[in-house]
Structure 1
């Protein structure tokens, strides 16, 4: 009788509402004495027709073996990386802010969640001037989100994306990308805080530029070196980990120079796998940190394991 009454009472109470909010999007990683914080900006759903170089059925097979549902587009992360070198706080890429809709724009909030403030950032290193990496340099009021930071970009990308003649000659569908780039950098440029570099330059102690062109004319990666520990933040070398590691010859429709992007990816995969560098990728599954392994067929992505911050590894 008592048991029946108890069960009857329980049935009158609904389960608590499901919680839809994910944990804050940051993850810490030690690179020697450098503290690296991966920051999640959000995601975009990329349609598989954007991938070029394999038949549609081959791409679907590669996605299916990774249990990826592409019926509504492949969920693709957008990541940025905050590196505390002990001397400077350096942000690589800044996310999309409001340029690409409500599924993106979380970098600034996740910097705060990670224990830092955007006002503390000394330098923003841009892998390239696409809006999903650049628009986040502004806050919601269109003012610099990183008021004391110097903005760094490759001279080739500055010459391409910030040039009015090039913008006006671009296909109409591509012209908004030029306008968004111009709008984002304008306050930094006006304040004299937009600076350029070339491949091979050392920007500050322990931070050097690795030229990785193709996706854009000046697409660049950044090698962070602390003793024997090396981390390469490589931007948009990979957009689909399920496809492009095994088939680095697959390009993306958004690559400005697809053949150059393919050659860059192949060379960088070989270099990264041979060197054992830790990799940070803008469009790899969050936190986008791991290693590249050479396989009999192409390469493979080996993500880092969740764990404590350990500078002894």
Structure 2
């Protein structure tokens, strides 16, 4: 793999982020409690990242402006970082772990919110990682110690193979080495404790939760299909970053995608199936709390959030 080519999306993304306002902490309404198929799901807002129009790909400025005008806004909406907690019997399961303090100026609030809800980090039994970008794994670490010392962290084998390769920092462009080392450090204590478990697509990771191929955004990007009672839900990670643009323009991607063509194909595949099957969708960057359904509207899709009580 040509690492310089692979990391090019990150170089652009970092440059764009530096031009935007810094990410901000979540405030106010930071969690919603929902029932999915009879199981409790808590949607937690870990933080909010700024909207950066230039991060979108395969869309002309005029088309972007027209799309945003129809949505009644001048710029793409800021991107939330949503994390989900599942109460499955005696298991407490996280889907992704937020950004922690791994990103400049970002201070994720996941751990503090869990404590406020009476869920000490020690009670978390499993963490399902959709992919190993910093805003999804940074929250695994508490200083130099694991934030969730009793949890098993589940990640796709290709994702672990790429990001945790010992030679990766020295082979990658110099500007990315601190971020790569931080990502590796976030997973290291779990690996050392034998609590890092790699999975393959189609594997049943936990009872009723099956990993699905969503590769393209990263080498082992995964979605999680969850069957609970009579309901099926899909945790789809980063298939959508900017809902108000990408749902109306299906070919639009982001500069965060390592293989744009594959990412686009997966995005369209799972949008189509989610709409056809009527699944509940939970998305890391969908408008908080990121839980709802996808409805087809001609050549585009609509996002329909579901109501949630505190």
TM-score by length of 1: 0.87
Residue in structure 1 matching 2:280, options 256, 278, 281:
278
- The correspondence of residues 53-72 of structure 1 with structure 2, limited to 5 A, is 53-70=58-75
- The correspondence of residues 220-299 of structure 1 with structure 2, limited to 5 A, is 220-299=222-301
Q: Which moved more, 1:213-222 or 1:167-176?
A: 167-176
Report the equivalent of 1:199: 201
Q: Does 1:52 align with 2:57?
A: yes
Structure 1 unaligned regions, length at least 5: 1-20, 309-313
Q: Does 1:86 align with 2:89?
A: yes
1:237 is paired with a residue whose SS is: coil
Report the equivalent of 1:122: 125
Q: Does 1:36 align with 2:38?
A: no
| Contact kept? 1:210, 1:223, Cα under 8 Å | yes
| Contact kept? 1:215, 1:261, Cα under 8 Å | yes
| Structure label with greater radius of gyration | 1
| Contact kept? 2:65, 2:74, Cα under 8 Å | no
**Alpha-carbon distance in structure 1 between the residues aligned to 2:110 and 2:72:** 28
| Contact kept? 1:24, 1:110, Cα under 8 Å | no
2:130 is paired with a residue whose SS is: coil
| Contact kept? 1:26, 1:38, Cα under 8 Å | yes
TM-score by length of 2: 0.87
Q: Does 1:133 align with 2:136?
A: yes
* C-alpha spacing 1:180/1:248, structure 2 compared with 1 (3 Å): farther
| Distance apart, 1:24 and its partner CA | 4.4
| Contact kept? 2:99, 2:106, Cα under 8 Å | no
Residue in structure 1 matching 2:30, options 14, 19, 25:
25
Structure 2 unaligned regions, length at least 5: 1-25
Residue in structure 2 matching 1:109, options 91, 105, 112:
112
| Contact kept? 2:32, 2:309, Cα under 8 Å | no
**Alpha-carbon distance in structure 2 between the residues aligned to 1:168 and 1:56:** 37
**Alpha-carbon distance in structure 1 between the residues aligned to 2:188 and 2:217:** 23
* C-alpha spacing 1:68/1:35, structure 2 compared with 1 (3 Å): same
CA RMSD of aligned residues (A): 1.8
Deviations 1:126-177 (Å, cap 9, x if unpaired)?
00000100010111x2211111000110000011111133443333344333
2:226 is paired with a residue whose SS is: strand
